Amino acid sequence: MALTLWQSAPAFLFQGGDTDQLLQWMLVGAIILSILAMGLQFFKNVFYAITAPTYSLKSMGQDDNFFFSLLLVVVGGLFMSLYALMQKSFLLASFEQFARDQLNGALVGYANQTYKPVVFEFGLNRMTDVFDLVMSSILGIVLLWPVLWLLFGYVYWILSRAFGNQLSLKVMLSTLAYYYLLFGVVVGYFAIHSVGAYLVAQGGAPPIGGLEIAGVILGLVALAYSVISISQGSDITVAQAVVVFVIWGVVLGGIIAAVFVYQLAPIYEGFLDGLRSQSYA
């Protein structure tokens, strides 16, 4: 009997308690366990990565093993997921306002005023369902973060070879791991908040407040830190690292723009056109 109750306890927690709060505590526990697995070396290396990155990142990248670097990145991803859960209500409210404004603009010329609220609610429900699906994948950030780390690290390593980089891919990855850790821990909260602020602004200028100003400042610091990480991980100059960063930024930006223009935008416009053409007569 006791064993049966113990086995069913997690189910009662998820059904009767606050699931989001429980997930937050699970993420905090995973963060603590990951840090404990890395030991005192974690605190020592993070101290040097913050106070003297131009002198320490390369040497730490050469000394760290792959598992230690992976755990650094995972901790950054765990913090990103934690921050997203903490701001879930803000993101949902921001998206609802964004969706309502978009639908009001799309249906401004809808002829049948009697059925306009029905079409509006249908469109709002469809958009909300899609966003809820995205929000349900918050924990996927923990997996996405290492994937981005491996992808970007490999691309930076390949591009830096043109400037004479003789270091191994492992050094580049280990050096970048500190960037992904610090971005997730320090900048992550503000990065998640900026998504909600952007939705509220409907793609225009976001509202300017304390969080937004701090986010911009930290974003600029993170940008500079990423260039330093590339420079240290490939043993090239900062100027050469800037070139590597810009080349990949242009390529990545082009890919994202192409996907948006040729894939996402037509789907979204087709959805709005479908709402405009609906008739209940």
C-alpha–C-alpha distance, residues 221 and 183, integer Å: 10
* pLDDT for position 212: 78
Would the CA dihedral through 99, 100, 105, 111 be positive or negative? positive
Q: What confidence tens digit (pLDDT) does each residue in 67-96 have?
A: 999 999 999 999 999 999 999 999 999 999
Reading the chain (281 residues) residue by residue, the pLDDT tens digits are 333 433 443 443 334 347 888 999 999 999 999 999 999 999 999 999 999 999 899 999 999 999 999 999 999 999 999 999 999 999 999 999 999 988 888 888 777 777 888 888 888 999 999 888 888 888 889 999 999 999 999 999 999 999 989 999 999 999 999 999 999 999 999 999 988 888 887 756 666 777 778 888 999 999 999 999 999 999 999 999 999 999 999 999 999 999 999 988 898 888 888 888 876 55
For residue 23, give the nearest of 78, 90, 95 by alpha carbon: 78
Q: Which ranges of the chain does DSSP label H, i.e. alpha helix?
A: 2-16, 19-38, 40-51, 53-63, 66-86, 88-106, 116-135, 141-160, 169-182, 188-200, 210-234, 238-259, 265-277
Predicted pLDDT at 278: 73
